[in-house]
């Protein structure tokens, strides 16, 4: 059986891990880093760049660089939270025909699933190189608070990347698996996982006991994360720059990208230092000429800027404690997950909520990836004796005739689970019923998220209230729902399985797969070209040296020929085309042979006896 990898597909950074014996290990990138920036860019030449390479060029290609995509996946364009991203993102967010949020890159429109697939392909390739074998199966983590369309969209992203997603695992559950692996599980205890990453916040309460990981409660905010912290600093810097110069740097994409990078750097520095200097020379051109930004940001000011964001994590924590029926004093340990938990104010608020110091032994950047690796190990059969009892984060139900919402599966139910309920007709001789599936906590259907609608047709005419329509909801261990309806009274079994109203159609997924393969091919060509180019570079240098040494022995025609060959090699070095570079390399080989023949006749040269 080939290896299964575990992937933490983060808003800011992603991690891929695998079991080595009985230990989960993070697979490093070729550059030696354990995390890959969750950034994808399309250059003006249509090339796709992923990870560190995409991050490096972000400042010069802001509208073609996509980050924070996890905030858009599985969401509608008219979602007000998507609007808030659109307001500050340098790239354009548009609506797909079915209303899903999509991004625009140059002349192309891409779904968040396709962008995420590019990151997943990159991680897959990294893993394949590291393991020396093809990787087909994966476990991918998602915030526990992700709803059904977000989970389905994440799974689709995996499919586009050529991965068979065996499990969509909740991030806090993954973190607790890794924590359990640290050997901190000898006694039964209840822990809290406080996960504040780049784009989302999750809080989960879990009971760990002899190999059983039971999620007692989960809550969160899929639109709260480090990017909001960065934005507060950006707005603070921009307001002060505007006051000084009259120019709003946020109106210029390049300046905005520079502000974004500087803000994140300052934020991270303030986790260690009490203050930091932010300098951005030539940020904008004002009527008086080029203007520079220079500001000192103290930790106190930063805490004032982001205080309300940190406070926003308090309510979900209290809700989760209440759902679990526990007091903070009953929590034995609090795990901090996600880079943003490094901010001292966050740690202080966590301490206030849970009345204890958070655990300092887990690496907040890697713990979710490692947990995904352990889950992959469980699926492979490499890790035994672990039972995961996860819960559904939001209630699922159907709309009633009067626009109300009947919950079929309550939030917090342990998954996988199945619930059925029998409904009937409201009119005489009604031959069809509509089932509108929704997810949410509100009592009015409209206020919840619509997942799907379908009709059960062909019910034999009968007085109202007679037919028995059994509606069944299933949630699998990925937290993904399917719904069916059956007409029990007629004996005729009709069953309809829901396809979601959002997400990608099978054709779109197929198109995505084909494009992902095309890009993978392009990536392979680029790697091959890079290798040949580096051989050409080395050989050009050594031949140039030989030429300098023996040029006096060469005829004028030979000199001319060699110089021409060197010139074409230099221009081939700037090419991305493997064939052009290979031709230059072949030509250089001929030149090298010619020079070695001449050198052999040099009486001063070595090699002549
Ligand atoms: P994640 O999604 O877990 O990779 O979290 C990434 C978020 O953590 C980003 O918003 C980072 O800017 C933030 N982050 C990373 N390191 C630090 C740090 N030392 N202090 C504050 N925030 C950080």
Q: Does residue 6 have its Cβ closer than 6 Å to ligand 1? A: no
Residue 274 among the catalytic residues: no
Residue 477 pLDDT = 85
pLDDT confidence of residue 160: 95
What are the pLDDT digits (tens) for 380-398? 888 776 778 888 888 899 9
**What does the pLDDT look like over 11-48, one tens digit per residue?**
999 999 999 988 999 999 988 999 999 999 988 777 88
pLDDT for the residue 497: 62
Q: Tell me the whole-structure pTM to 2 decimals.
A: 0.81
Residue predicted with more confidence, 270 or 185:
270
197 CA to middle of ligand 1, Å?
Answer: 6
Q: How high is the pLDDT of residue 498?
A: 59
Nearest CA to ligand 1 atom 19: 268
DSSP type of residue 2? -
Inter-residue contact 237 to 295 (CB < 8 Å):
yes
Is 70 an annotated catalytic residue?
yes
| For residues 161-187, average pLDDT | 85
Q: Taking the alpha carbons of 426, 427, 433, 434 in that order, is the dihedral positive or negative?
A: negative
Rounded to the nearest integer, the mean pLDDT of the chain is 89
Between the CA of 519 and the centroid of ligand 1 the distance, in Å, is: 29
Percent of the chain's residues with pLDDT above 90: 53
Decide: 13 in ligand 1 pocket, CB within 6 A: yes
What is the residue-wise DSSP string for 555-609? -HHHHHHHHHHHHHHHHHHT---HHHHHHHHHHHHHHHHHHHHHHHT-TTSTT--
Of 438-442, 447-451, 503-507, which gets the smallest average pLDDT? 503-507
CA 367 – ligand 1 centroid, Å: 14
Residue 400 φ/ψ, nearest 5 degrees: -95, 170
Residue 428: count other Cβ atoms within 10 Å of its Cβ.
Answer: 11
The whole-angstrom separation of Cα 555 and Cα 576 is 34
Instruction: List pLDDT tens digits, range 91-146.
Output: 999 999 999 999 997 777 899 999 999 999 999 999 999 999 999 999 999 998 89
Compute how many other C-beta atoms are within 10 angstroms of the C-beta atom of residue 445: 19
Q: Inter-axis angle of helices 299-311 and 344-354, to 10 degrees?
A: 40
CB 347 less than 6 A from any atom of ligand 1: no
How far is it between the farthest Cα atoms of the chain?
A: 113
Residue 195 alpha carbon to ligand 1 centre in Å = 11
Which helix (H) or strand (E) segment holds residue 532: the answer is helix 506-550
Residue 493's pLDDT band, with cuts at 50, 70 and 90, is low
Strands in 81-200 per DSSP E: 92-95, 101-105, 108-110, 137-142, 164-170, 189-196
Cα(363) to ligand 1 centroid in Å equals 12
Which residue of the set 55, 70, 76, 449 is catalytic? Answer: 70
Pocket of ligand 1 contains residue 338 by CB under 6 Å: yes
Closest CA to 326 of 205, 413, 223, 168: 205
With the most atoms of ligand 1 within 8 angstroms of its CB, the residue from 142, 268, 364, 367 to mutate is 268
Task: Give the model's pLDDT for residue 166.
Answer: 95
**Which atom number of ligand 1 is nearest to the Cα of residue 270?**
20
The predicted pLDDT at position 126 comes to 94
Long-range Cβ pairs for the range 123-129 (8 Å, 24+): 123/5, 123/7, 123/14, 123/16, 123/36, 124/5, 124/16, 124/161, 124/162, 124/163, 125/520, 125/523, 126/16, 126/27, 126/29, 126/30, 126/36, 127/3, 127/5, 127/16, 127/18, 127/27, 129/30
Residue with the nearest Cα to atom 21 of ligand 1?
A: 268
C-alpha distances (whole Å) from 73 to each of 103, 110, 344, 434 are 11, 11, 30, 28
d(C-alpha 32, C-alpha 18), whole Å: 16
Residue 90 CB–ligand 1 contact under 6 Å: no
> Mean of the pLDDT values across residues 157-178?
94
Q: Is 429 helix (H, G, I), strand (E, B) or coil?
A: coil
Taking the C-alpha atoms of residue 223 and residue 116, their distance in angstroms, rounded to an integer, is: 18
pLDDT of residue 494: 64
Cα 223 to Cα 204: distance, rounded to the nearest angstrom: 17
Q: 384-398, 426-440, 491-505, 521-535 — which is least confidently predicted? A: 491-505
Residue to mutate, 52, 55, 193, 226, ligand 1, most ligand atoms under 8 Å from C-beta: 226
Q: Which of 315-319, 443-447, 471-475 has the lowest mean pLDDT?
A: 443-447
**Range from 9-13, 53-57, 269-273 carrying the lowest mean pLDDT:** 53-57
Q: Answer whether 68 contacts ligand 1 (Cβ < 6 A).
A: no
Q: How far is the CA of 472 from the centre of ligand 1 (A)?
A: 42
Ligand 1 within 6 A of CB of 342: yes
Q: Whose CA is nearest to atom 8 of ligand 1?
A: 339
Of 9, 12, 70, 222, the one to substitute when testing ligand 1's pocket (max ligand atoms within 8 A of C-beta) is 12
Per-residue pLDDT for 607 more than 50? Answer: no
340 CB within 6 A, ligand 1 = yes
Q: Is the CB of 149 within 6 Å of ligand 1? A: no
Q: How far is CA 203 from the centre of its chain?
A: 19
**CA-wise closest residue to 113 among 163, 78, 63:** 163
For the CA of 10, the closest atom of ligand 1 is 2
CA of 281 to the centre of ligand 1 (A): 25
| Cβ proximity of 218 and 316 under 8 Å | no
Angle formed at CA 153 by CA 485 and CA 18, multiple of 5 degrees: 115
Q: Which two tokens stand for residue 140?
A: 């991918």
Which pLDDT score, from 0 to 100, does residue 392 have? Answer: 85
Q: Is 425 in the pocket of ligand 1 (CB under 6 A)?
A: no
Question: Ligand 1 within 6 A of 268 CB?
Answer: yes
Q: Is 382 a catalytic residue?
A: no
Q: Is the pLDDT of residue 184 over 80?
A: no
Q: Which atom of ligand 1 is nearest to the CA of 339?
A: 8
CB of 341 shorter than 6 A to ligand 1: no
The catalytic residue among 100, 147, 195, 365 is 195
In which element (H, E) is residue 314 found?
helix 314-324
CA 343 to chain centre: 22
Region 445-455 average pLDDT: 86
Evaluate: CB of 76 within 6 angstroms of ligand 1: no
8 belongs to the catalytic site: yes
Look at residue 609 in the predicted model and tell me its pLDDT: 34
200 lines ligand 1 (CB under 6 A): no
CA 265–ligand 1 middle distance (angstroms): 10
Tell me the CB-side half-sphere exposure of residue 416, using CA atoms within 13 A.
10
Q: Kindly tell me the sign of the dihedral angle through the C-alpha atoms of 222, 225, 227, 228.
A: positive
Which atom of ligand 1 lies closest to the CA of 11? 2
Q: Is the pLDDT of residue 262 over 80?
A: yes
Q: How far apart are CA 504 and CA 152, in angstroms?
A: 9
Q: Which of 171, 202, 390, 474 is catalytic?
A: 171
Q: What is the spatial distance between Cα 543 and Cα 62, in angstroms, rounded to a whole number?
A: 41
Highest mean pLDDT of the ranges 371-375, 477-481, 574-578:
371-375
Q: Which residue has the tokens 């808030």?
A: 84
Task: With beta carbons less than 8 A apart as the criterion, state whether 306 and 229 touch.
Answer: yes
The count of residues in the chain is: 609
Residue nearest to ligand 1 atom 20, measured at CA:
268
Is the CB of 232 within 6 Å of ligand 1? no
């Amino acid at each position: 059986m080939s290896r299964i990898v575990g992937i933490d597909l983060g808003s800011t950074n992603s991690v891929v891990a695998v079991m080595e014996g009985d230990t989960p290990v993070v697979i490093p990138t070729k550059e030696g880093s354990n995390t890959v920036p969750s950034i994808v860019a399309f250059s003006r030449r249509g090339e796709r760049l992923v990870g560190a390479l995409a991050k490096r060029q972000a400042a010069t290609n802001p509208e073609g660089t996509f980050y924070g995509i996890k905030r858009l996946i599985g969401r509608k364009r008219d979602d007000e939270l998507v609007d808030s991203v659109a307001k500050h993102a340098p790239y354009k967010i548009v609506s797909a025909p079915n209303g899903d949020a999509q991004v625009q890159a140059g002349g192309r429109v891409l779904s968040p699933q396709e962008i995420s697939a590019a990151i997943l392909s990159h991680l897959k390739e990294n893993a394949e190189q590291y393991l020396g074998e093809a990787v087909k199966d994966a476990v991918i983590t998602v915030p526990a608070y992700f709803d059904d369309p977000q989970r389905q969209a994440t799974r689709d992203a995996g499919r586009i990347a050529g991965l068979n997603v065996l499990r969509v695992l909740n991030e806090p559950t993954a973190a607790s698996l890794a924590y359990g692996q640290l050997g901190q599980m000898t006694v039964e205890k209840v822990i809290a996982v406080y996960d504040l990453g780049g784009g989302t916040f999750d809080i989960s309460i879990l009971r760990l006991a002899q190999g059983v990981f039971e999620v007692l409660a989960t809550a969160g905010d899929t639109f709260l994360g480090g990017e909001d912290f960065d934005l507060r600093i950006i707005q603070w810097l921009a307001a002060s720059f505007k006051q000084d110069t009259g120019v709003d740097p946020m109106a210029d994409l390049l300046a905005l990208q520079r502000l974004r990078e500087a803000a994140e750097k300052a934020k991270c520095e303030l986790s260690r230092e009490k203050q930091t200097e932010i300098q951005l020379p030539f940020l904008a051109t004002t009527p008086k000429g080029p203007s520079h930004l220079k500001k000192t940001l103290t930790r106190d000011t930063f805490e004032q800027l982001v205080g309300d964001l940190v406070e926003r994590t308090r309510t979900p924590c209290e809700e989760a404690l209440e759902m679990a029926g526990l007091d903070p004093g009953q929590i034995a340990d609090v795990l901090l997950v996600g880079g943003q938990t490094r901010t001292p104010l966050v740690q202080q608020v966590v301490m206030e909520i849970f009345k204890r110091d958070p655990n300092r032994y887990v690496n907040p950047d890697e713990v979710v990836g490692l947990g995904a690796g352990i889950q992959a190990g469980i699926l492979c059969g490499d890790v035994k004796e672990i039972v995961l009892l996860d819960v559904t984060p939001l209630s699922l139900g159907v709309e009633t005739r009067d626009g109300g919402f009947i919950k079929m599966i309550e939030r917090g139910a342990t998954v996988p689970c199945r619930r059925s309920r029998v409904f009937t007709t409201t009119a005489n001789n009604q031959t069809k019923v509509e089932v509108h599936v929704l997810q949410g906590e509100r009592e009015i259907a409209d206020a919840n998220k619509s997942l799907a609608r379908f009709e059960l047709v062909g019910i034999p005419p009968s007085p109202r209230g007679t037919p028995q329509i059994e509606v069944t909801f299933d949630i699998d261990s990925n937290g993904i729902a399917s719904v069916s309806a059956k007409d029990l009274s007629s004996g005729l079994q009709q069953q309809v399985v829901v396809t979601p109203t959002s997400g990608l159609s099978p054709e779109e997924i197929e198109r995505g797969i084909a494009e992902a393969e095309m890009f993978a091919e392009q990536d392979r060509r680029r790697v091959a070209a890079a290798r040949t180019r580096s051989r050409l570079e080395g050989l050009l240098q050594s031949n140039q040296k030989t030429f300098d040494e023996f040029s006096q022995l060469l005829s004028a025609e030979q000199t001319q020929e060699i110089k021409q060959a060197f010139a074409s090699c230099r221009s081939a070095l700037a090419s991305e085309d493997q064939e052009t570079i290979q031709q230059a390399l072949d030509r250089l080989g001929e030149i090298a042979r010619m020079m070695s023949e001449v050198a052999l006749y040099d009486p001063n040269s070595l090699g002549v006896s």
